[in-house]
A and B are shown apart, each in its own frame.
Chain A
Amino acid sequence: MIREYRTIEEVAGPLMLIRQVDGVKYDELGEIELPDGSVRRCRVLEVNGRNVLVQLFESAAGLNLSTSKVRFTGHGVQLPVSPNILGRVFNGMGEPIDKGARIIPDKLLDINGTPINPAARYYPSEFIQTGVSTIDGLNTLVRGQKLPIFSGSGLPHANLAAQIARQAKVRNSDSKFAVVFAAIGITFEEADFFISDFKKTGAIDRTVLFINLASDAAIERISTPRMALTAAEYLAFDCNMHVLVILTDITNYAEALREVSAARKEVPGRRGYPGYLYTDLATMYERAGRKMGSEGSITMIPILTMPEDDKTHPIPDLTGYITEGQIILSREMYKKGFMPPVDVLPSLSRLKDKGIGKGKTREDHSGVLNQLFSSYARGKDAKELMVVLGEAALTPLDRLYAKFADAFESTFINQGFYEDRSIEKTLDIGWELLSILPKSEMKRIKPEFVEKYWVRKDGE
């Protein structure tokens, strides 16, 4: 029996308190019926005796304490799924907004998911070729990885994400592929950029979109990424597809979370974000992966803008502690006109070591990668010194390193958003660049590979 309550006691910000409620469970979904018949949704945050504290998903405008009715549904927030969700557009609460037919559900799934048993995971190790040298060559992405893009306001993270979505492929494999895209509080233009890019490439038919725009209710953002991930889990683990999930922008998500936390008067952690931000983010990010009993996989690319380009801000910081690496975009590179403006040195892919090498990419990959990294780091140091003291202050070797760093930025990094490089091409460019340096500097590469791949110049 479903009971209706007219006992709303208070509404403050996104929170609402209802008195004299019986039989309500923690995390249950509730519906609020307004006098005009419209229905809004809420979720139970706390049960305390007969008082129930709920969080609204939409704005509280028009809510009347005495005439609005609340009923509880007996279950958590759910998403109806079926294979037909591909190609559809939903709002942040999982309702279709593309004027298409209603989804006839195959299943109703709780959007919170359940943790994957670590004993049931497969370690991600299949190389995904994104065609972007800085990713494939240096920060290799593998199937089932969660690799965020740390960006700043005004940097072209959308272009990079779209490029990855467009070009990503696993070589020698013809498995089913899908994209799940969640727009979390981004502007119409940015969302439109992705949608038209998906349309242009025809990818839209195998894409599921969840759109919460900047103008939509901020609180809805708390469920948007979970909706998207639930859809992704269904496609990956029930339909055995390889799913690429793009979540943008996590910063907006964290702010919505902070809003609720502040309204509850919780003890804040750093910068006003709740102490459980890490755990909360983890319950989303950890849904990426591969697991036993299913062919599919979820590869996740969350995008977040670092406030003030500050990597130590809690959102990028906690994200970095959970995800398996990060691609960081740099304003300096962007201003120099190098696209995609990846800041190579602090970028990282933790899972690369098992995804590269013979049989996966190429035998020399690991050595080349380490050599490129350390040479570029030394070259940048040399360039810094050069700025202060002039070229003459450098040793002849450091001068070569400086030259290497420049060439590395203008060719290896600067490939533009529309060039699709194979991994062999990426590595060959790497060798070409390394030949600026003396052969004896190739300490990170096994001698046999140096012999095999060294680009010989005249006179050698």
Chain B
Amino acid sequence: MNSLIPLLVAAPLAGAALLLLGGRALDRFGHWIATALAALSCAFGLVLFFDMLGRDTEHRAVTERLFSWIPVGGFRADVSFQLDQLSIVFVLLITGVGTLIHLYSVGYMAHDERRRRFFAYLNLFLAAMLILVLADNYLLLYVGWEGVGLASYLLIGFWQHKPSAATAAKKAFIVNRVGDMGLSIAIMLMFAEFGSFAFRPVFSAAGDASEGKLTAIALMLLLAACGKSAQVPLQSWLGDAMEGPTPVSALIHAATMVTAGVYLITRSASIFNLAPDAQTAVVVVGAVTLLFGAIVGCAKDDIKKALAGSTMSQIGYMIMAAGLGPIGYAFAIMHLVTHGFFKAGLFLGAGSVMHGMNDEVNMRHYGGLRKYMPWTFATFMAGYLAIIGFPFLSGFFSKDKIIEAALAKGGTEGWILGTCALVGAAVTAFYMTRVVLLTFFGEKRWQPDAEGHRPHPHESPRTMVIPMVVLTFGSLFAGGLFSLGDSFLHFLEPVTGHEEGHAPLSAFAVSAIATVCMAAGVGLAWLKYGRKPVPVQAPRGSLLTRAARRDLLQDDFNHAVLVRPGSALAATLVFFDSKGLDGFVNGLAAAIGGLSGRLRRIQTGYVRTYALSMFGGTLVLVASTLLMRSV
């Protein structure tokens, strides 16, 4: 049975290779091959899952070692997979949502001449993401980690002829590389400390290391997580990443890849649990980002960018939960899964709307669409109610658990974190209600596109509607299902560990307060966008609104602090290299070689040069031989 584990990865990898190398011959049906292979991988995942359920808790984690990858001295990196409760959750999420989004893309990308390539990249993404969650050591995880980064780069920049897409793709890769630097350094620290970077040996020896070392490792892992999961201060790439086709935004930049940071921290629980200072850093990052993303989400008129802000914010919740330690890990993952369902659903809904509206993304040019796209509207509403935490839908269960855990952190810290989470819940309700009202309700504010075509909104084809409907079930029921008898928690507990927190408020009180916050957010949004007509042109807005539209000035900051000084430095060095250093070394060379005159004059006669330098060299030679004699 374990031999199925490599096949999980192999199926989509083979698809990517086939589609990229297969050429035009595969243009007509290549997308179906890719979709079938994604589904096959998902089937393998299900088989492995039920196989795992059939075994008792101690025997659920299995390892499948394929071959020794880089053996040098004490450095041993293997290509070896580990399937345990944590990784199977990801496997099912990745392949499940992945397959649905392949299917959706069949419709969405039907008219794109480079569709084959698109599906190749999607398959490549699945393979890399599966390597990421199945690796049994950090170096192999790194392969998946940068592999998804590559897929993300290729897919954000899929429409490369648009300069904005190409720039966004590059930006995503570079910012992620900063995070990857953290992962590199963490692995080096582990190797220097333990002589290994495989999960099991490192986790079992973590207790021997000093807290300082563990904190350093944990902080470097956090840096990596910030890059991949778009957390402050490495958040700036996610909004721009919406340049990619919408299915990509749903799969990679909402449901799966961006949650890899949460996986990394949860996986490294044994290290973080022993490094309380690093854990504090994690919760701070999470709390700041959950507010940051929510505020940005309120100000965006671009439907995808509003959702991107929301993604950032929801992952902030997960990161915060993971930073809380054993009281939060399982809930971080639970929210990750429910979020995967409803956010993927929301993005697919957004894509469906764009599909029907001539690729318009500005919500101020939508309005009243619920009558024209009933399926899209219904599924979007399910995702909407789930994300704002409407009682007894998925988001309600998973988000409440995180708020409870935050409060259970105890002391002032607990109150601060709990308050952040509650405020976040209210803001979430506000911006999501705004999205729904602007898009589906109110009057039609439709505008002709650049070529003057008036939009004729229509429901999307079946290949697009089916995935939205399937995800709706997840949005509605997954949270409740997971919470029945705390089944999700008990399933994950052997890997992540669990401690019951002691919240100062009862679970019921927390739910009640969260629901009130949610209602407040919804009400406020209705007052602002539901009760009165929405202007087609965005009003100037308050200082905060204007800052939030510019992503709270993240790019201005990066530009001033990093980009401008960086380019200036590069320009200076280019000048220095050709004038200063080259001149100096040329001069030195000429002097030492016994050559008078400058290179420019010498170049006319190479024979003379050769003779001269031979002569000079002989002098050096004789002198040094004499020197050696006397030594």
Q: Do A and B bind each other?
A: no
On A, residues with C-beta under 8 Å from B are: none
On B, residues with C-beta under 8 Å from A are: none
